[in-house]
Amino acid sequence: MMEAIIAGLGGLVIGFKMLFVNWQSLIMLGVGGVLLWLGIKKDCEPLLLVPIGFGCILVNIPMSDVMLKDGFIRTIYDAGIDTELFPLLIFIGIGAMTDFGPVLAQPYTFLLGAAGQFGIFLTLMLALFLGFPKLDAVSIGIIGACDGPTAIYVTSKYAPHLLGAVAVAAYSYMSLVPVIQPPIMKALTTEKEKKTVMKFTAKPVSKTTKLLFPLVITIVGGCIAPKGLPLLATIMLGNLMKESGVVARLAGAAENEIANVVTLFLGLCIGATMAGPAFIRAETLIILGLGFLAICLDTVCGVLFGKLLYIITGGKINPLIGSAGISAFPMAARVVAKVGMQYNKKNYLLMHAMGANAGGQIGSVIAAAVMLSVLAGMGVIR
């Protein structure tokens, strides 16, 4: 009987023994802790980093079965990530909470939203140069969309083994936009350009235009890039619900209850893809490095495009607003306003930057949709 008791008690310590055998899992427990610390103490994307950090810890506990067949996170993963459902549900919420009024008031800012997507394609080329397979390079490049759901949608579909690294890079760098962008913006613009005052004459947009906007984007964008239609359609459905004003309950649910539940599940699933042996590889570090580069390149190209507009318009457009042409909404616009104020206290760039930022949000989705359709056109994907 004594032997049975000792064997039974042995079952209680085997997890601790395994912890020291599998060193990668031990490190990842620490990484999970750091993600939780960043979310809770540093307020870096806490809605995502808290569940991601916890999921990371769960999957790295020795003999954890959460991601094995019928494990509880595996079940959620199969239902929402494998099917690409979660990022799309998040997009309905994003559409319902975003006011595209600033970009509709100044449609030229759509172009700034396009320039901010250069990082995707330049990083893709760099990843190919470093030897990543084609679809892996596409998933790495998409970090440059600065758009978590888009990155997750594309990666879960075409390079699911990179999902953890790509998602963590996308969300971490998005939260670091206020740190990453200002030095690049300051370095690429002259003193005179930074001080350029842009007058904002609030140009209201009619309700009809606001209602037609999501329909036009869905139909025209869908015809040009049908492979990305789910991305475009969901964000525009959310926006149509918001602007119509007749389905306030649905819009409210999309931006609150649905978005909250899906964010929790999404975060847990992403964290659970960060199992030590699969995550601790040189490849992961390279992906994190390339992701950082992607966001820097977005900023560089955005500001350079802003400089081009500055020249074309005879100095009427402050090139700083070009850096807001990314999807990190409204953080990138606030960064522009803050940097602009540092050089000219009377320069209120916020509304112009909000236009570029809303353009960047549409731009990142369009860029992903176009990319998928080009890939389909080349026969790389079906």
Partner 1 sequence: MEMDNFTFGVTMLVAGMGGTLVTLGLLSLMMMALGKLFPYKEEGGKEG
Among 16, 41, 69, 204, binds partner 1 (CB under 8 A): 204
Type and span of the H or E element at 204: none
Residue 120 near partner 1 by CB under 8 A:
yes
Structure tokens at 351: 């509304």
Among 44, 121, 198, 376, binds partner 1 (CB under 8 A): 121
CB of 301 to partner 1, least distance (A): 9
Beta-carbon contacts of 217 under 8 Å, excluding residues fewer than 6 positions away, are 232, 236, 362
Beta-carbon contacts of 338 under 8 Å, excluding residues fewer than 6 positions away, are 178, 182
Question: Are residues 298 and 327 in contact, defined by beta-carbon separation less than 8 angstroms?
Answer: no
For 303, half-sphere exposure in the C-beta direction (CA atoms, 13 angstrom radius) is: 22
Among 69, 206, 314, 345, binds partner 1 (CB under 8 A): 206
Question: Are residues 148 and 172 in contact, defined by beta-carbon separation less than 8 angstroms?
Answer: no
Residue 47 near partner 1 by CB under 8 A:
no
Residue 158 near partner 1 by CB under 8 A:
no
How many Cβ atoms are within 10 Å of 18's Cβ, its own excluded?
Answer: 14
CB of 308 to partner 1, least distance (A): 12
Beta-carbon contacts of 370 under 8 Å, excluding residues fewer than 6 positions away, are 224, 225, 228
Nearer to partner 1, 233 or 362 (CB): 362
CB of 209 to partner 1, least distance (A): 5
Residue 196 near partner 1 by CB under 8 A:
no
Structure tokens at 94: 């994003």
Nearer to partner 1, 120 or 337 (CB): 120
Phi and psi at residue 25, in whole multiples of 5°?
Answer: -65, -35
Residue 124 near partner 1 by CB under 8 A:
yes
Residue 173 near partner 1 by CB under 8 A:
no
Residue 201 near partner 1 by CB under 8 A:
no
Residue 377 near partner 1 by CB under 8 A:
yes
Among 62, 250, 373, 376, binds partner 1 (CB under 8 A): 373
CB of 114 to partner 1, least distance (A): 4
For 23, half-sphere exposure in the C-beta direction (CA atoms, 13 angstrom radius) is: 1
Residue 224 near partner 1 by CB under 8 A:
yes
Among 19, 264, 286, 374, binds partner 1 (CB under 8 A): 374
Residue 138 near partner 1 by CB under 8 A:
yes
Applying CB under 8 A, the site for partner 1 has a residue count of 50
Structure tokens at 4: 């049975």
Among 107, 183, 277, 289, binds partner 1 (CB under 8 A): 107
Question: Are residues 117 and 146 in contact, defined by beta-carbon separation less than 8 angstroms?
Answer: no
Nearer to partner 1, 24 or 209 (CB): 209
Residue 153 near partner 1 by CB under 8 A:
no
Residue 212 near partner 1 by CB under 8 A:
yes
Question: Are residues 295 and 180 in contact, defined by beta-carbon separation less than 8 angstroms?
Answer: yes
- Spatial distance between the Cα atoms of 242 and 98, rounded to a whole number of angstroms: 9
Residue 213 near partner 1 by CB under 8 A:
yes
Range in contact with partner 1 (rule: CB under 8 A) among 43-51, 90-98, 133-141, 342-350: 133-141
Structure tokens at 36: 């939780």
Among 199, 208, 246, 314, binds partner 1 (CB under 8 A): 208
CB of 237 to partner 1, least distance (A): 17
CB of 15 to partner 1, least distance (A): 44
What is the secondary structure of 109-160 as a DSSP string? Answer: HHHHHHHTTHHHHHHHHHHHHTT--HHHHHHHHGGGG--HHHHHHHHHHH-G
Residue 118 near partner 1 by CB under 8 A:
yes
Give exposure, 133-166, as e/b (b: 16+ Cβ within 10 Å).
ebbbbbbbbbbbbbbbbbbbbbbbbbbeebbbbb
Residue numbers at the binding site for partner 1 (CB under 8 A): 103-104, 107-108, 110-111, 113-115, 117-118, 120-122, 124-125, 128-129, 134, 137-138, 203-209, 212-213, 216-217, 220-221, 224-225, 359, 362-363, 366-367, 370-371, 373-375, 377-380
